[in-house]
Amino acid sequence: MKGTLLMLALLVTRELGIEMVEACPIFYEVFGTVALGDETLLNVSLDLVSATEPEKIAIGKIQDCYNEAGPVSKILDLIVMSTITTSGECISHAVDTLTDFEEGLPQLIPLGR
């Protein structure tokens, strides 16, 4: 189940050409609402990213799996997500992305303020 949600997020971000910097907050928001188990919150979250009806149904099914698995499964997933997020590779990628952004910033604002 964890792998399915992660694979879904990766496929969507690659297919839509969304940069990872933009995709990370979206992924964590949707993943968080899926894990919370509240259908209304999930729909609001999916509306913010303009999800289609089939996407809403598919992610709703994933949320149903989370609700059936119970709180222990949700806690284990939280541990896995925390481990991934705080891994050296993930932090290194975030630092590299921030560095790339800072290097490109003068091009966005060539005359300063």
Tens-place pLDDT, residues 5-37: 655 565 555 544 445 555 567 777 888 888 888
Q: What is the pLDDT of residue 82?
A: 78
Residue 53: per-residue pLDDT: 92
Domain 2-108 architecture:
Up-down Bundle (1.20)
User: What is the chain's Cα-based Rg?
Assistant: 17
Amino acid letter, 45: S
Dist. CA 45–CA 48, nearest whole Å? 5
What pLDDT does residue 40 have? Answer: 92
